[in-house]
Structure 1
Amino acid sequence: MIMNPGYKRRIKIIFSVILIGFTSALSQTGDKMLNSEEQAQILHTISRLIMQNYIHKEIGDTCARFLEKQIDSNAYSEITHPREFSDRVTTDLLSVHQDKHIRLQSVEPDENKLEGENPLLVFFLHAQEERKGDMGIREVKIFSGNIGYLDLRSFEPLELSQPRIINALQLIQNTDAVIIDLRNNNGGNPATVQFLCSWFFSDSLTLNQIFWRRGNYTEYFRVIEDMGIPKRPQVPLFILCGGRTFSAAEEFAYNLQAQRRATIIGEQTAGGANPGYSFAINERFNIFIPTGESINPVTKSNWEGSGVRPDIAIQEQNVLSFAIEKAARAARIYREKTDDLAVEILADMARRLYTAVDLFKTGKDTAANEIVYSVLTRGISERLIGEWEINTLGYRYLVQKEYPIALALLMFNVQSFPYSSNAYDSLGEAFLKSGVPDKALIHYRKSLELNPDNQNARLMIKEIEAMEHK
């Protein structure tokens, strides 16, 4: 899990790690056998990096002293293969510090790379392939009973994954319960955790905070207020976890559990809470070192070493079927409650719109418009109405020649859905029928601009222009 305090720093680290791999591939040294001298140089570098950067200085010093003893005893002399060496050092370090994030990584040569291939071109091609990937979203579906399901395998960088995440959430936007499956999720980016968590909260609150040793400061991850998609702060939420759930995936579950916003089902997670960075050792190795510590604002602690303990413990092979059954019951209750509330809200909206119609008839246009905008804004925020319903309602008043209320409804629609060709087309018709052809022409032209295939708008523009030239 790479949790970075700043975008520029994050990009710098990503570039450095990738370019190390390119250098290794081009020089073809990745599979070269190790000797004792190179081992010692690598271990000295690791010792220095851990001592200078590990989040807890005393543990970093302990690890550094351990590595120096390993050098003195020539502990790895029988190991010559880079991958075997990195695995052994990682295992030995884990016996000292118990932090599963610390790991030595050997950079493997890519046999498909041609000698002399441009490393920058390789980087851009690699980036293109990354963008074509699923961004960790393995499956999105709706189970019987209107239960949304998202199988998320990683929290990819938000700069890349946000559009895919929004698309996934839109597919389960109207479900009556949600299951997020993190059983095979080994972590990722904290900003992406923050983004997905925010979908389930309406209040502005701090989800998590990270103390960084370098710079001696705390970074706060708060609920994002405007995600560009309606939120689901009340929908029943179930999170599936297991022994492979690690790092950022654990943070997601821990954040929501601490806020009592979700039910965690499954097995205890792996227990890695300390974020950090990959540091280059040489062209053949890099090491991930935790440089920060997660601190939940509710528990004042984290899941390091202990993992996230499920609210309902159940063996992995049974967890999904159990969660679906649990979610189905919650969905029925939620549906009944929201249906009753929706009826109340819609009845109030209808009453207030009738009041607006009466105000328009008595010339109190400002007060009437305020009511219309207030009613429609609430209807959208409660996910009870959208563009189609507003457009249909506007047309009904247009047919009844109630032009002021029709115009108010349709003007709100274009403001709320500014990229809808149909919304502008309808408003153009309303202006034309209410005797304002110049404004009708403006909106028909906008409709045609948004959708050049709108033949109705094209025809109406010609008719209005012909009228103006008479």
Structure 2
Amino acid sequence: MKKLLVGIFLFHSLFSYAQKGDMTTVLSDITEKVKSYYIDPTTYKKVDSLFQSELKKGTFNNLNKKDFAALLTQKLRKDIKDGHFFVKYLENYSPEKLVDEKEKVKLNNFHNSLENFGFESVRRLEGNIGYINFKGFASPEASAATLAAAMNFVANTNSLIIDLRENGGGENDMLLLFCSYFFDKKTDLYTTYLRHANKTVMNSTQSNVSGTKYLHKKVYILTSEISFSAAEALAYFLQQHKLAEVIGEKTEGTANPVDHFIIQNEYLLLVPAGKITSLSSHTNWEHIGVMPDQEVKAEYALKTAHIKALKNILKTEKDTKTELSIPEIKNLINKLEQ
């Protein structure tokens, strides 16, 4: 019995030692990626100090790989103060399966199609007001037709509400395509500096889109404190160019783009590797968030925007026609305000 207990103890000791060694290697690799790619070249020192401190405290001991990755994400975001850091354990990951880039893109587009490329719903509200509930930016190649269909659907409305309260961001090129629907001509919006490549890229809207552009009409963008990354960018740039009013809560404050890395064939790592600079404001929303033009709790943002759009109809009643009479619009406003 005594020999059995000693054997079990040795097994657990060796397992813990091996586990700690694996984690140390992962932490070391993450630190190296931050050192080479993160937008601030000195931040890796903070990351290394954080990891060494947590190792000494035994913070990662006895964690499974999924929980280890989740805790790393939490620690990096909190201590480095960058919400774009992300670590995920890739169960059953096989690099051989991802050799064919075309198959990888095809599979990714298929998964995005199951969520309609982020377009949760598109409808017409009373008063002939368009509404798009948009939850994520997939690749423009895959989702351009869905975006065009959404914009064609709202083309005849008097004003438009874009709901980004649950939008978690996504593809930069899809952001630019969506922005293009609100600019009458090609417009340079921002530059992206990529530290590892040491180059700056211009980001511009397209002059032509496959759907109907939404020009010279009121646009309201709904935000929440969890509106993230590309969702913040859409609100920020349309607000900066006075093409939309933002209604809701101050957003997360994550502007910088990321690079993706596979660590030890087991973990996905996202590292903020560039810096966006708006050509109109000469800054961005990193750590600040997008400030609403009208700040209300996220749960009241849609009602607030609807009321605002209806009141604008009353101001411009000579030029704006809807299916509702003026008394009906006033009654609807009173109903929404209750």
Q: Do these two structures clear the TM 0.5 threshold for a shared fold by scoring above it?
A: yes
Task: Tell me if 1:53 matches 2:31.
Answer: no
Task: Tell me if 1:152 matches 2:134.
Answer: yes
1:187–1:248 contact (8 Å) kept in structure 2: yes
Separation (CA, whole Å) in 2 of partners of 1:271 and 1:79: 33
2:158–2:320 contact (8 Å) kept in structure 1: no
Separation (CA, whole Å) in 2 of partners of 1:206 and 1:248: 17
Q: 3-state SS of the aligned residue for 1:35?
A: helix
Separation (CA, whole Å) in 2 of partners of 1:125 and 1:229: 26
Separation (CA, whole Å) in 2 of partners of 1:151 and 1:318: 15
Q: 3-state SS of the aligned residue for 1:337?
A: coil
Q: CA deviation at 1:327?
A: 1.1
Relative to structure 1, the CA distance from residue 93 to residue 287 in structure 2 (aligned partners, 3 Å threshold; closer, same or farther) is same
Trace 1:299-378 onto structure 2 (pairs within 5 A).
299-333=281-315, 336-337=318-319
1:187–1:249 contact (8 Å) kept in structure 2: yes
Per-residue CA deviations over 1:260-307 (Å, capped at 9, x if unaligned) read: 211100011111111112111022212100101111111111111111
2:233 corresponds in structure 1 to 251
Trace 1:11-26 onto structure 2 (pairs within 5 A).
none
1:176–1:335 contact (8 Å) kept in structure 2: no
2:193 corresponds in structure 1 to 211
The answer for unaligned runs of 5 or more in structure 2 is 1-14, 322-338
1:87 corresponds in structure 2 to 70
Q: 3-state SS of the aligned residue for 2:131?
A: strand
Separation (CA, whole Å) in 2 of partners of 1:77 and 1:235: 53
1:108 corresponds in structure 2 to 91
Q: CA deviation at 1:109?
A: 4.5
2:279 corresponds in structure 1 to 297
- Once structures 1 and 2 are overlaid, which stretch shifts more, 125-134 or 280-289? 125-134
1:63 corresponds in structure 2 to 47
**One-letter code of the match for 1:310?**
P
Larger strand proportion, structure 1 or 2?
2
Q: CA deviation at 1:63?
A: 1.8
Residue of structure 1 aligned with 2:23, choices 35, 39, 47:
39
Relative to structure 1, the CA distance from residue 142 to residue 297 in structure 2 (aligned partners, 3 Å threshold; closer, same or farther) is same
- After TM superposition, what 4+ stretches of structure 1 lie above 3 angstroms from structure 2? 68-71, 74-77, 117-133, 331-339
1:246–1:269 contact (8 Å) kept in structure 2: yes
2:185–2:206 contact (8 Å) kept in structure 1: no
Structure of higher CA gyration radius: 1
Q: CA deviation at 1:127?
A: 4.5
**One-letter code of the match for 2:110?**
Q
Separation (CA, whole Å) in 2 of partners of 1:335 and 1:41: 67
1:232 corresponds in structure 2 to 214
1:387 corresponds in structure 2 to none
- Once structures 1 and 2 are overlaid, which stretch shifts more, 38-47 or 130-139? 130-139
1:180–1:238 contact (8 Å) kept in structure 2: yes
Cα RMSD over matched residues?
A: 2.7
Per-residue CA deviations over 1:377-405 (Å, capped at 9, x if unaligned) read: xxxxxxxxxxxxxxxxxxxxxxxxxxxxx
Q: 3-state SS of the aligned residue for 1:135?
A: helix
Relative to structure 1, the CA distance from residue 119 to residue 209 in structure 2 (aligned partners, 3 Å threshold; closer, same or farther) is closer
**One-letter code of the match for 2:127?**
G
Separation (CA, whole Å) in 2 of partners of 1:118 and 1:253: 34
Q: 3-state SS of the aligned residue for 1:148?
A: strand
Separation (CA, whole Å) in 2 of partners of 1:165 and 1:306: 29
Provide the identity percentage: 26
Separation (CA, whole Å) in 1 of partners of 2:142 and 2:258: 20
Q: 3-state SS of the aligned residue for 1:324?
A: helix
Residues paired across the two proteins, number: 303
**One-letter code of the match for 2:63?**
T
TM-score by length of 2: 0.82
Q: CA deviation at 1:173?
A: 0.5
